[in-house]
Amino acid sequence: MCRLADLPEGGSRGFTLHNGAAAEDIFLVHHQGRITAYRNSCPHTGGPLDWVPDRFLNLDGDLIQCATHDALFRIEDGVCIAGPCAGRALTALQVEVRNDEVSVRLE
Ligand code: FES
């Protein structure tokens, strides 16, 4: 996916993964020493969350923010705490960091 050094603390990055003809948009967040990954798909419309590439967090950097509706999601579990999908959650993906390499398992 990427090197850990390419995803500094407080950062987020989007990726498009290709599996044959299918493409899947995901994003990673590095927050408080932990890497989390989610599908880049809001639970209420299925639309993407970022407003510019690699910008998934609010200005304080402590929540994931939908660029279209300002909905806020906790970084640690993807649960929406404010906005049109409050109480629902982003789809989390399993992350592994080994030898400075970050990888994500889609299923
Ligand atoms: S697309 Fe769901 S909160 Fe914006």
- What domains lie within the chain, and their CATH numbers? 2-105 (2.102.10.10)
pTM, two decimals, is 0.92
**Which 3 state secondary structure label does DSSP give 85?**
coil
pLDDT digits (tens, 9 = 90+) for 72-105: 999 999 999 999 999 999 999 999 999 999 999 8
Task: Compute, in angstroms, the gap from residue 39 CA to the centroid of ligand 1.
Answer: 13
Does the CB atom of residue 88 touch ligand 1 within 6 A?
no
Q: How far is the CA of 57 from the centre of ligand 1 (A)?
A: 14
H or E element that contains 62: none
Atom of ligand 1 nearest to the CA of 80: 3
Q: Rounded CA gap, 13 and 27, in Å? A: 5
- Residue 6: its pLDDT value, please? 92
Q: Which two tokens stand for residue 72?
A: 């806020």
